[in-house]
Structure 1
Amino acid sequence: MILIADGGSTKADWIALDTNKKELFRVRTLGLNPAVVAKDELTNRIVNMFQLINIKDEVTEIHFYGAGCGTPKPIAILKDVMQSIFINAEINIAEDMLAAVYAASGDKEALVCILGTGSNSCYYDGNKMHINVASLGYTLMDEASGNYFGKQLIRDYYYDKMPKRIAEEFEKQYDLEIDQVKFNLYRQPNPNMYLATFAKFMFDFKEDKYIKKTIRKGFREFFKYRILPYKINNDIPVFFIGSIAYYFRDILEKVAKKYDLEVTDVIQRPIDNLIEYHRNHIN
């Protein structure tokens, strides 16, 4: 049995295939980002999914693509966790950016971007990924991501920069008591996921002038730091992966046009495309 998974910081989608690459089932666990989630918690998030534990001895291959899996140390942590559970499996771990490439362009040249809980981008030449800047995560980077926008909303609320009507709605949906916010940011695990929960607020008010302005600002920053430095020709396809890009595609396309670029496609969940890639390319 083969397991293929695409994992962000918030969630991870798993699909099980038999030896003929026929889908058997799919499940979703909490995110398995080894750069921000403790080793014990990574284990818990897998073993608490009974569909995975039920077949742990039958799994012979795992192809896991995940946030936080771009450097050797977190890869080693996650691989150790998986090897202790799936004892008969050959485990392959790569960063989520590679899954985005496979899901978007397959083996063709493209610029591929992720706008989910976190954000990233790469140029794929048809054989190899080229990432111009290493990602330092939600504290310093992650422009236009869920945690970026969550941070912007909280700051605007406390700085009294949020329109009154929007602020009142924001108060209804979230516990904004200052000690609670600080507790979640500084005393709880995964503050990036906590921040990203606030970004969901924007989906309900996407036509509001303030929300549109906030989204545009974030997208412009993403283009400035994560797309324009590649200096690509405007005939190279540009793909986006993730819910932020998916739900605000109209704004994203308008920002792209200002830089003489066109959004080729936006994929909310790459797992289905990823499965097709594996069926066609991996023996």
Structure 2
Amino acid sequence: MKLVVDSGSTKTDWGFFSTVYDVKAVKTQGINPCHQSEEEIRTIIRNELLPNTQNIDPAAISEVFYYGAGCATESICTQMAALLKEFIPNAAIAVDSDMLGAARALCGHAEGVACVLGTGSNSCLYNGKEIVDQVPSLGYILGDEGSSAALGRRLIGDCLKRQLPETVSREFMERYSLTKESIIESVYRKPLPNRFIAGFAPFVYEKRAIPEVHKMIIQCFSEFFTRNVINYHKPWLPVHFVGSLAGSFAEELRETADSLGMTIGKIETSPMYGLVDYHATDKA
């Protein structure tokens, strides 16, 4: 039996499988070794994972492939592997970044450009096994183009700067009980402003058929392509996407790519089953 783990800061998906046709999936809260102590991670595994996998013998797991947020350095990956070894002692354990997990899930063993669109955004050029180039994400202030945070930031700005129909702006402000002052407070003075602005992406989705909102969405996605994907200089490669936002705005992503002469490949909401398929093959 093998175990594939896709871990973000919000949630973690655990997939136990012997074949691609028999996967036991378990969800726990997110794990990020940059923000959580080893004991906090152990507690998540003990309290959320183990009670839901009582019929699985840890000794029967031969390989673990863990792809996680925060797993960007060799020391952190080594630390995470050692922690997992406490619970799965007989397995060979490989720990890599969540971006590599997304690339393998989307591209498999083929070359391609892999992109993640969620609260933030990220991308890479992948050669069928490893990441060979990566334009930095830079976070919601300097980057994260095309993400929920980018859409939310643009929505707020366009409402306050009178770029959207008055009816849309009024509905937005009233629905979320917002004022200009409360927005300034949440963005510039309160913690986690990226989550605050990203939380308005569902409103953008709801109003996406309104011409001004549609134009805003296309402009945000165009920024993602021009500031990230185009810089890999591989216009013949398919561009794949994973993430909740990518799944919701698949039509707009395809429209944007077509206008820029790019080819969209897969658009998935989660990398889990792509990773299971990747690691079920002999090449993995």
Compute the TM-score of the two structures, normalised by the length of structure 1: 0.81
Alpha-carbon offset, residue 226 of structure 1 = 0.9
1:26 aligns with 2:28: no
Alpha-carbon offset, residue 195 of structure 1 = 3.6
Residue 258 of structure 1 is matched in structure 2 by 259
Residue 210 of structure 1 is matched in structure 2 by 212
Residue 134 of structure 2 is matched in structure 1 by 132
The equivalences for 1:83-102 within 5 A come to 83=85, 86=88, 89-102=91-104
Alpha-carbon offset, residue 187 of structure 1 = 5.1
Moved more, 78-87 or 160-169: 78-87
Calculate percent identity across the aligned residue pairs: 32
Residue 241 of structure 1 is matched in structure 2 by 242
CA contact (8 A) 2:241 2:268 kept: yes
Alpha-carbon offset, residue 24 of structure 1 = 5.2
Residue 268 of structure 2 is matched in structure 1 by 267
CA contact (8 A) 2:77 2:95 kept: yes
Alpha-carbon offset, residue 107 of structure 1 = 0.7
Residue 223 of structure 2 is matched in structure 1 by 221
- Decide whether aligned partners of structure 1 residues 118 and 67 sit closer, same or farther in structure 2, where only a CA change above 3 A counts: farther
Query: Distance in 2 between the 1:86 and 1:185 partners?
Result: 44
CA deviation string 1:112-157 (max 9, x = no partner): 2111222111222234322232333333221111222223333444
User: Which amino acid is 2:74 matched to?
Assistant: P
SS in 2 for 1:275: helix
- What residue ranges of structure 1 are gaps of 5+ in the alignment? none
- Decide whether aligned partners of structure 1 residues 66 and 173 sit closer, same or farther in structure 2, where only a CA change above 3 A counts: farther
Alpha-carbon offset, residue 85 of structure 1 = 5.2
- Decide whether aligned partners of structure 1 residues 74 and 141 sit closer, same or farther in structure 2, where only a CA change above 3 A counts: farther
Alpha-carbon offset, residue 250 of structure 1 = 2.0
CA deviation string 1:161-184 (max 9, x = no partner): 443322333245435365588468
The equivalences for 1:124-203 within 5 A come to 124-174=126-176, 176=178, 182=185, 188=191, 191-203=193-205
Residue 64 of structure 2 is matched in structure 1 by 62
CA contact (8 A) 2:3 2:17 kept: yes
- Decide whether aligned partners of structure 1 residues 31 and 195 sit closer, same or farther in structure 2, where only a CA change above 3 A counts: farther
CA contact (8 A) 2:117 2:148 kept: yes
The equivalences for 1:47-58 within 5 A come to 47-51=46-50, 54-55=53-54, 58=58
CA contact (8 A) 2:6 2:13 kept: yes
| Corresponding residue pairs, total | 279
- What residue ranges of structure 2 are gaps of 5+ in the alignment? none
User: Which amino acid is 2:231 matched to?
Assistant: P
Residue 15 of structure 1 is matched in structure 2 by 15
Query: Distance in 2 between the 1:135 and 1:128 partners?
Result: 18
- Decide whether aligned partners of structure 1 residues 247 and 232 sit closer, same or farther in structure 2, where only a CA change above 3 A counts: same
User: Which amino acid is 2:242 matched to?
Assistant: I
Query: Distance in 1 between the 2:141 and 2:46 partners?
Result: 30
Compute the TM-score of the two structures, normalised by the length of structure 2: 0.80
Aligned CA RMSD, in angstroms, stands at 3.3
SS in 2 for 1:165: helix
SS in 1 for 2:213: helix
